[in-house]
Amino acid sequence: MTDRQTAPETVEESRLTVALLAVAAVGWTAAMLWSARATITGRADAAMEVTSTAYALPGAVSADLVAGAAVALLTLTLISGRRQLGSTARFAVATGSGLVVGLLSALPIITINTAGTIYAVVGGTVAAAATIGGALAGLRIPRVVAAIASAAIGVFLIGFVLNLFQEPLLSAFGAGDTESSADAAQWFTYSQAALGGLVAGIVSYLMLRRARRGAGDAHDGASAPADGAPDRATDVRWPMYALAGAGPGLLLVIAEVLSRTAGSRVLELAGKVSDLELAVQQMLSSARLNNGLIVVFAGAFTAIVAVGRTLSPARDEDDAPAGESPAPAPSASKDPSVSKDPSASKDPSASKDEEDEPQSSSSSSETAYHSNS
């Protein structure tokens, strides 16, 4: 009776990888919150504070989603090194870790003005995002969660770099008058989303492939396939690659949903500043949702193509190399005591009777001859 094999995607990620991931996610979140606080407090009037808060809300929410998931994954990895957690305990620990991250993230926003309800709304939305991220880390797919968080940070960095060069890129897309500038901004958004999806698929694939190699090296006596194909014993199933590639886009969609629901009060107040600001908020909201959906499909497609290149079809007997001959068919009996001569299986007494039978016939013939004579 053999032990049931553990699914590869349920194996915990290495502590060093998760620790570095948590540091990067928390650092990115801290930078987003510091930037939001500095932008909000630097405005002269209340109207500008409201619009600045609305602009900063989606970025802070998406960053806290990743930070909550990364810190919760680190907590689970450290605990799992000492004892195994059940499903309920794992979910509770992950959700609690995300909640702690959310409460700490809400402090820089709430303390801007403790009397203003708008900042309490933003703080609550940020805390909810981190808690949801922690709960997602409680799923028993730690390697996939780590790949999603790593790819999400890669998408954030790509967006940050592209925004630094936004002006020359808009000029390259033909920005000029009002109509051409709108078209150029749309092309810039689509290009950023497509490139983000490409990065998400590649980073998630590399993370899962690196984890597969690490798990494969842990097997004593196990050797990698000669053709470079994935080891089926340690490699996650291909749908998990697609999920990891689509994960950053899904986080962006969740962040947008949270901004529209939990943070709806902030967006509503920003829209009341002016009709132009209302149109801008609606346009940005639609652009963020489209951006997330493009990252979902582009990331999943890129990850599937990447893992598909490493798969090799199963070899049939007809596809055996020309130098190899097929194995000989098994003989009916391999017992050397069994003779191939049918006469060897006959009874010895029956053989003696068969030898005496010709002699009796000859004697009878001679007696009949002499009688006739």
Name the DSSP letter for residue 44.
Answer: S
Cα three-residue angle 125-18-229, rounded to 5 degrees: 120
CA–CA separation, 267 and 341 (whole Å): 98
Q: How far apart are CA 131 and CA 137, in angstroms?
A: 10
Distance CA 139, CA 129 (A): 16
- Does the pLDDT of residue 345 top 80, yes or no? no
Q: What is the pLDDT of residues 64-79, one digit of tens each?
A: 999 999 999 999 999 9
- How far apart are alpha carbons 29 and 156 in whole angstroms? 11
Mean pLDDT computed over 145-173: 92
Look at residues 59, 82, 79 and name the one whose alpha carbon lies nearest to residue 71: 79
Q: What is the pTM of this model?
A: 0.76
Average pLDDT, the chain: 80
Percent of the chain at pLDDT exceeding 70: 73
Quick one: tokens of 230? 């994935």
The two structure tokens encoding residue 363 = 């004697």
**pLDDT of res. 80:** 84
| pLDDT above 70: residue 342 | no
pLDDT of residue 358: 47
Contact 129, 68 (CB under 8 A): yes
Residue 253 and residue 246: Cα distance in Å, rounded?
11
Write down the residue that tokens 């009878």 correspond to.
364
Is-contact 7 233, C-beta < 8 A?
Answer: no
CA distance 359 to 309: 83
Segments of the chain assigned E as strands? none
Tracing tokens 């699914």 back to the chain, one arrives at 7
Q: Which residue has the higher pLDDT, 340 or 197?
A: 197
Please answer whether residues 98 and 148 qualify as being in contact, where contact means their C-beta atoms are separated by less than 8 angstroms: no
Q: Which of 134, 42, 56 lies closest to 95 in space, CA to CA?
A: 134
Query: What is the domain partition of the chain in residue ranges?
Result: 8-172+182-217+234-310
DSSP state, 227? Answer: T
Residue type, 258: L
Q: How many CB atoms lie within 10 A of CB 176?
A: 11
Between 10 and 30, the more confident residue is: 30
State how far the Cα of 42 lies from the Cα of 55, in Å rounded to an integer: 14
What is the tens place of the pLDDT at every residue in 233-270?
Answer: 456 788 899 999 999 999 999 999 999 998 888 888 88
The pLDDT score that the predictor gives to residue 169 is 87
pLDDT at 216 over 60: no
| Number of Cβ within a 10 Å radius of residue 270 | 23
pLDDT one-digit tens code per residue, 105-132: 999 999 988 777 889 999 999 999 999 9
